[in-house]
Amino acid sequence: MAVAKAEIERRMQRFAQTCRSHGLKVTHQRMEVFRELASAEDHPDAETIYQNVCRRIPAISRDTVYRTLATLEEHGLVHKAEILASKGRYDANMDRHHHFVCTECGLVRDFYSEALDALPIPKSVATLGRVESSHVQLRGICASCARGNGLTDTDKGDDNVTLVLHRTTYDLGRILDEGEKLWLRTRSD
């Protein structure tokens, strides 16, 4: 699945507007680094971004890509997805969302859940400091790895994944093609 062209265009327009509003020049290098992220759904790390942009701009330096990513993150144009036990990976999707991480192959995908967005921050966290944002990361085995490991009924094409989190069962359901997003549905058992 690839990011839809309309979504890439929306992200690119937002990028140009935000750069201008922050007084950042919209340079060819910045555009290409951001375009690489805007069209990626796999949350690439900085080195992967550099390698891919290098195919289009052979003269771009690794330092330019790394500095560009830091600048874009500083101005809220990209988010550094801190995936546990992994290099920092970048995400141009700035809409509120969460991540599903496959513990077998490292796949990272965005998903949306109003239920998880509404999770209250425990009062005890206030003693640790001020919460500025929250993000849920679900870790499990993706449908592809599960089929490869014989963990699902492949004869029926069953891509369903169930997660039990604090005694609530979440049915991750099938990966929906609609908008290339995985939606989390709550199921009561």
Domain boundary among 25, 51, 81: 81
Per the structure, how many domains does the chain have? 2
pLDDT tens digits, 121-141? 888 888 888 888 787 888 788
With tokens 């965005």, the residue in question is 110
pLDDT tens digits, 51-83? 999 999 999 999 999 999 999 988 888 888 766
Looking at the fold, whether 46 and 108 belong to one and the same domain comes out as no
Looking at the fold, whether 109 and 183 belong to one and the same domain comes out as yes
Residue 141: inside a domain: yes
Identity (one letter) of the amino acid at 88?
Answer: G
> Is pLDDT of 24 > 50?
yes
Residue 62: CATH number of its domain: 1.10.10.10
Residue 88: inside a domain: no
Tell me the pLDDT of the chain averaged across its residues.
76
Residue 149: inside a domain: yes
Looking at the fold, whether 179 and 138 belong to one and the same domain comes out as yes
Q: Rank 12-16, 81-85, 86-90, 145-149 by mean pLDDT and report only the highest.
A: 12-16
Looking at the fold, whether 99 and 77 belong to one and the same domain comes out as no
Residue 18: inside a domain: yes
Q: Which residue range(s) make up the domain with 57?
A: 5-81
Residue 169: inside a domain: yes
Looking at the fold, whether 63 and 119 belong to one and the same domain comes out as no
Q: Give CA–CA dist 29/36, Å, rounded.
A: 11
| Total Cβ atoms within 10 A of residue 95 | 9
With tokens 């058992």, the residue in question is 189
Residue 135: CATH number of its domain: 3.30.1490.190
- Pick 31 or 96 by higher pLDDT: 31
